[in-house]
Each structure stands twice: as structure tokens, then as C-alpha cells.
Structure 1
Amino acid sequence: MTQPPANRSERPWFLALLASLAAIGPLAIDLYLPALPAIGHDLGASAAKVQWSVTAFLAGFSLGMLFYGPISDRYGRRPVLLTGLAVFFLASIGCLLARSAEELIVARFLQAAGGGAASVLSRAIVRDVYPGMEAIRKLSLMAMVTALAPLLAPLIGSQILHWSNWRGTFAALLLWGASSLVLARRFLPETMPPSHRQHVRLASAFAAYAGILRDAPALGLLLTGGMSFAAMFAYITASPHVLIEHYGFSSTAYALVFSSNATGILLANYLNSRLVHRLGAVPLIGLGAVAGVVATSMLLILFVLDLDVRFALFFLFMGVVVTGLLGANCVGLLMHRFPANAGAAAALFGASQFGFGVLASASVGVLPGANGLPMAEAMLVADLLALLGFFLYRRHGEGEPRGSSSLR
């Protein structure tokens, strides 16, 4: 099969299916988090060892994306996507049946390696099917679903634990993987025509990474999108300690703050999908990058002055939700810049987000400060680097893709 007919790509279910595939990663990361203590108790493992299953997933997810992107540029989206979903499904069985923490860690790595295909190729398929600025708008709508996943997944995981044990969370992921595999096999055609891949060598597909990394505008987009995501990772890592342990928020109050921020990201993605045709992707990236620096600067000042934390919540909200103005726009422009290697470009973007996110998460633990200072410092540094990336793109970039033209 080749590029889908227009009436198929215009149907709501087509984008909904792609969004559900993109949500596999966040869902698989967050769904089982409430079960971590129970896993350690049942498998006789320390909390630190069980936490390695989270680290293994992040590593496998990033490496999986880097592997599948170029492969799909050479062999097409459909067979690579189905293979990745099959790996995710089989590894989910391994997670479900794990008898030790070591088995779980290995299975989680393989599960993530398979899930990485769904994350990167759902974006690449959008770029294959939709022209110009419309692709960025569709990526924003998809990002609304991936923003919902971290909000709903821990709640769903907690409910599963009420009627099952920790293995129930992996049974849910197994069902999600199975349904995704069936639906993708039934409804997703090949979106990359043979004429665009038949002359691509596998070695040159992987070598595309070097070409992307040597390109100054591409580095700017990777830095902007990745560092904005890193600022959010710093917030996710540090906010429970800052708000619950230091400032005495109840678990309910913290959940409300977390939910409002996640809702803000969703709304920012929705606004981006509505405004990108009118204002353009580049101005919206600039707005988001500047707003992030302003918000996290104010956040740092408020923590330095040790004022009432309630004053900081607004700027924390603003510092987090700007990711909704950056992610879809940056990856859309990056794939537009490398049309022959869109899979590799999307993979490198996703891997940079998680790679920078892990660095930001680790930095929170080593920066000095008793209240929210380490979190604010890490967020501000990340947002400053994101703004630097935007300036790099503006200096060397080629501008906006046209809404009526194909990205190919």
C-alpha cells in the first residue's frame, strides 16, 4: 500500500489512532508508577532496584526511537511500526510474568524498545500524509492526547491496584499493545511511497543522524524542543518533594496542581493547533521560548526570596505549559527540513527530549537549595538553552513551511 487516500486521512479516527500510538510511551511509563512499592515487596527487591525498571524503560525508549527512525526511511513506516508493536506486546507478557526484579528490568527495556516505534513513526506518518503547516497542526492535536496520558495513567494504575495486584497494570499494557497492533495492522496503510525509499541505503539512512547534527538550524530545533521538555522533567521529578514534603501540600492539593499544569499543556497544544496557520510555527516557538525564560526567572526569584509558595504556582504553571507551544512546532519544522529522512529526524527529536529530560531530572538532585531552588534553577537553565536554540534556528533557518505545499 502507498499513501492513503485523502478521505481516509481526513477522518477523525485516523488521527485518533496515530495519537493513541504516540501515547504508548507516556502510558507505559506512568501507568505502573503507583505499583512500584508493591513490585519491590512481591519480588523481594529494594526500592532502588525496582527504580531501575524506570531507567531501563527510558533508555530502551530512546534507543528504540533512534533505531526505528532510519529503518522506516528505508523500508517504510508500516512494517517497522508493526514489528515494534509486536515487540512491545511480547515484552509486556515478559513484564506480566516476571519473577524477579532483574527479569522485569530486561522486559521493561524490551517493552520500551518496541514502544519507541509507535512514538516516532506516528509523527513520521503525520508528516507523510499532511501538507505543510497542516502537519504541525495535526501534531499539536496528537500532543493533546500525549499530554493527557501522564495525567490519567497514574490514576488508572491506582484503580487497577484496587482490584488486582501490580501485574494487573502490565495486563492493561498488554491489552493496549494487542489492540494497537490489531488496529494498526487493519487500518494504517503504508504512507511512504516506494519512490521515496527504494533508492535509500540502510547505511545512509543511519548516516542521516550525522547530517542532522551538523546542521545549525536542526540543532536549534533539537535544543529548543528538547530543553523545553527537560524543564518539564525537572518539574515532574522535583515537584512532589518541593510541594508535599517542603511546603506541606496534601496529596490531594498536589494532585490538583499537577492536574492543572497537565491541563494547561493540553490547552496550549490546542491553541497551537488553532493559531499555527494564522501566526506561523516560528513566532509561536519564539513566544513559548521567551515565556518559559520569563516564567522560570520569576519562579527562581520567588524561591530565593522565600515568599509564599502560592505566588510561585502561577509561574510554575506558565513554565510548564509552554511546552505545548514548542514540541509539535519544533518537530514539524525539523521533519520539514529533512524530508527524505523524516523518520530519522523524528527519532532524533524524541531521543533528545528524553535524553535532555534525564539530565535535567538528575541535575535537580545535585543542585544546592532547601526549597524549590534546585527545581527552579534546573528549569531556568533548560529554558535559557531552549531560547538559545530558537535564536540559532532563526539565524540559520529557512522559515515557515507553506500550508498548501507538501512537505516532501
Structure 2
Amino acid sequence: MTSKVHGFGFTALLGGLSALPALATDMALPSVSLVQADFGSSPAEAASAIAVFLAGFSTAPLVVGPLADRFGRKPVMLAGLALFALASIGCALAPSIAVLIVARVLQGVGAGAVAILPRAIIRDLFEGREARLQLAAVSIVFSVAPLIGPTLGAALLAIGPWRLIYATHAVVAVTLGAFTLAKLGESHDETMRRSLRPATIVAGYRRALTNRMCGGFSLIVGLVFAGLFAYVNVSPLLFIEGYGFSQAGFGGLFAMTASGVIAGSLLNTWLVRRHASPRAVLDAALSAIALAGLTVFIASLGGHPSLVLVIAPVMIYISAFGLVMPNAVHEAIHPLPDIAGIASAVLVSAQMLFGALGGSLAAALYRDSSPLAIGLVMSAGGLAAGLVYLVWLRPGVEA
């Protein structure tokens, strides 16, 4: 039942599978204007070809989780990759904006099916410290996608049409599928397979949502991600309009801040190897997130703060997020080994839901080229996450 590889190749494969949604979204960002010109569509229609991906991605885990608990991780993973590859081909060959939008929804469904399973696989195979090390390592690989996605998309546009981006998506999916087929064994024990009867599925989700650790840490991940996505969503407007960055300059600045996730994940790996307790890591990381969010908010109350007073706390927030994620994922999924697929689905869906809410709220509140909206959402999300952890979850975390 175990995976054939537990070394670098195993980690790289799980990281690549986890990164597929981010790569599919970020690579397509530079192509929006070209899609609009090619089809003669409105800007809103062209932009929706990016946004609808999230619609498919955010709903798929709720269906895929029970399927993975019933049929195993590997066949569901391969099915998700096959759907993603076929939908990518559909995007590349789309004769109209309507067909492209439908294909993007299906591409999102395939990505959603793939993205939740690496966490479930790690829960199947590892316990305690080893599980946290694997989660941190996968986070490092996963975090590279947002950094290289837009650059890779722009590079493909320099040598071919926008359809080449989606053809590349298909090649990536087929490649990941080949490695999954050859290198990844089934991790889910047949004795733990669950029925697909509606009553059983509902009971599984009820159990995951009412489990203190799973429900609580899913909420924490969602709240912290709301602040992070507030920054992601509004940062182009803030730094280009408010601070006068060029498109290229903003790209470099965004890559620098986004690399904080890698720094946090590397630090978490170092701490785990030195037997730091999950409670100590979460205490420090969630405190840093709350203070960083408050710093941006308070600095923005006086008007237009210096760039350092925005970038420095944002870097701290994102780096601390890299510390929180592996530990929160472990604490959320570990208590529910027999429904790890459902638990992973709850975690990912909470992350996406709160991220969408945080990004939308920050965009709605954004005014006068000020970081106040970002600071408000970051501080609210960070403080709420800290409160949930302190009052509800901390006593149950390993000291």
C-alpha cells in the first residue's frame, strides 16, 4: 500500500501535483489581453476565463474527497490529471470565448481533484515529525509555482500564441500522470475504504467539520489565507498606482514577497529537525501574523506609509504563513486517518472560500492608493486566527 519513493523524487512529485492549480492560474495571467483580441470579446469575458478556473477548483474537492476515501488516492489522482489534460487541450483548441470558459471550468475541476490528494497521501504514510517534515518539503516545492508562473507564461507568449500556454498545461499534466503511474503506489489501505452512500458521505463531512482540530485548523488556514489573498488581489493596484512601480518592477517585488512562503517552509523544516514542538511553532507564527497585519493597518491610518512599512510586515506575514501551513495541515488531518480525503477537502475548500472573501473585501475597500484595505483584512484575519487558536485549539496541540 505504500509509495515506492519517499525521497526527493516522492516529495517533488507531490509538490508538483500540489502546485498544478497555481501554475494553471498564474501562467495564464499574461494572456488575458491576447485572448480578448483574438476572440473580440469584452475585457470582462476575457478575464472570466481566468476567474472561472477557481469555480471548478473550489467545488471539486468536496466531491473528490469521498471518492478518494472510497477508491484510493492513485486512481482519483490519475482521473483528475486526465481531466485536466483534456480540458487543457480544449482550452488550446477553443474556437470561441464560451468554449474556452467551459474548458477552464473543467480544468479547474481536474486541478481541484489533484490538489487535495498529496496531503491525504502524506497522512496515509507518515506520522508526527515525519509528516510535518514531508508537508514542509511539499510546501517548498508548491511555493515555487506562483513565483515562476507569470514569467513562464510570458516566455511562452514570446515564442508563440496564447494557446501555447494551455498546450503546455496539457504536457505538464501528462508528465505528472506518467510519474504518478510509474512512481506512486496506492497509499490508502483497502481496509479503510468507505462507502459512497450519501448518508456515509454526509456523516464523514459532519465528523470532519465538528472535529475540533480539523474544523478549527481549517478555519485558521482560511482566516490567514484571507489576509494573504487580500495582498495578492490588491497589490498590483497598490504598488503600480500608489508607489509608482512599473509592471516589471511590480513583478520583481511580488516575487520577492511571495518567496517568503519558501523561507517560512525552510525555517519550519529546520525547526522540526531540531524537535521544535508544533505548539511552539504555531505560537510564534500566529503571533507574527497578527502583529504584521496590525503593523500594516496602523501604519496606513496616518495616510500613505513608506514602502518599507508595507513590504517588511507583508514579508513577515507571508513567511509566517509558510510556518503555519505544514503544522496546521498536519493538525487538521492527523486525527482523521480513515477520512483523510474528506478532511483534506474541508481544509482546501475553507482556504479557497476565505481567500476569495478576503481578496474581494480588500478590493471593495481599496481607496486612494492606500494599503489600508490590505492592512484591515490582514489584521482582522490574523487576529481572528490567533483567537481561534488560543481559545479553542492550543490545549490540544503537542507541546
TM-score (norm. length: structure 2) = 0.95
The equivalent position to 2:287 in structure 1, one of 285, 290, 308, is 290
Larger deviation, residues 221-230 vs 210-219: 210-219
3-state secondary structure, aligned to 2:116: helix
Q: Is the 8 A contact 1:22 1:120 kept in 2?
A: yes
Tell me the CA shift for residue 81 of structure 1: 0.9
Which position in structure 2 is the counterpart of 1:340?
338
- 1:9 aligns to 2:5 (yes or no): yes
Q: Is the 8 A contact 1:216 1:392 kept in 2?
A: no
Which position in structure 1 is the counterpart of 2:160?
164
Larger deviation, residues 47-56 vs 19-28: 47-56
CA–CA separation in structure 1 for the residues paired with 2:283 and 2:62: 27
Which deviations, in whole Å up to 9, do the C-alpha atoms of 1:373-403 show, x marking residues without a partner? 11111111121222122124435x53339xx
Q: Any stretches of 5+ residues in structure 1 without a counterpart?
A: 402-408
Tell me the CA shift for residue 321 of structure 1: 2.0
The equivalent position to 1:104 in structure 2, one of 96, 100, 104, is 100
Which position in structure 2 is the counterpart of 1:143?
139
- 1:45 aligns to 2:28 (yes or no): no
Which position in structure 2 is the counterpart of 1:404?
none
3-state secondary structure, aligned to 2:259: helix
Which position in structure 2 is the counterpart of 1:270?
266
Which position in structure 2 is the counterpart of 1:357?
355
**Paired amino acid for 1:57:** F
Runs of at least 4 residues off by over 6 Å = none
C-alpha RMSD of the superposition: 1.7
Which position in structure 1 is the counterpart of 2:119?
123
CA–CA separation in structure 2 for the residues paired with 1:125 and 1:206: 22
1:370-381 counterparts in 2 under 5 A? 370=368, 371-381=370-380
CA–CA separation in structure 1 for the residues paired with 2:103 and 2:55: 12
- 1:331 aligns to 2:329 (yes or no): yes
Tell me the CA shift for residue 368 of structure 1: 5.5
**Paired amino acid for 1:209:** Y
**Paired amino acid for 1:207:** A
CA–CA separation in structure 1 for the residues paired with 2:262 and 2:11: 16
Which position in structure 1 is the counterpart of 2:66?
70
Q: Is the 8 A contact 2:295 2:375 kept in 1?
A: no
- 1:57 aligns to 2:53 (yes or no): yes
Which position in structure 1 is the counterpart of 2:151?
155
Which position in structure 2 is the counterpart of 1:181?
177
Tell me the CA shift for residue 193 of structure 1: 1.4
**Residues 392, 172 of structure 1: alpha-carbon distance in 2 compared, 3 angstrom cutoff:** farther
Length, aligned pairs only: 395
CA–CA separation in structure 1 for the residues paired with 2:180 and 2:317: 36
Which position in structure 1 is the counterpart of 2:398?
400
Q: Any stretches of 5+ residues in structure 2 without a counterpart?
A: none
CA–CA separation in structure 1 for the residues paired with 2:243 and 2:374: 14
CA–CA separation in structure 1 for the residues paired with 2:31 and 2:64: 30
Q: Is the 8 A contact 2:212 2:393 kept in 1?
A: no
**Paired amino acid for 2:277:** G
Which position in structure 2 is the counterpart of 1:250?
246
Q: Is the 8 A contact 2:48 2:101 kept in 1?
A: yes
Tell me the CA shift for residue 331 of structure 1: 1.1
Tell me the CA shift for residue 117 of structure 1: 1.9
CA–CA separation in structure 2 for the residues paired with 1:358 and 1:163: 33
CA–CA separation in structure 2 for the residues paired with 1:357 and 1:94: 28
Tell me the CA shift for residue 281 of structure 1: 1.9
TM-score (norm. length: structure 1) = 0.93
The equivalent position to 1:228 in structure 2, one of 224, 229, 247, is 224
Identity %: 32
**Paired amino acid for 1:99:** P
**Paired amino acid for 2:284:** L
Q: Is the 8 A contact 1:222 1:389 kept in 2?
A: no
The equivalent position to 2:14 in structure 1, one of 18, 23, 41, is 18
CA–CA separation in structure 1 for the residues paired with 2:299 and 2:231: 16
Tell me the CA shift for residue 212 of structure 1: 1.7
Q: Is the 8 A contact 1:71 1:205 kept in 2?
A: no
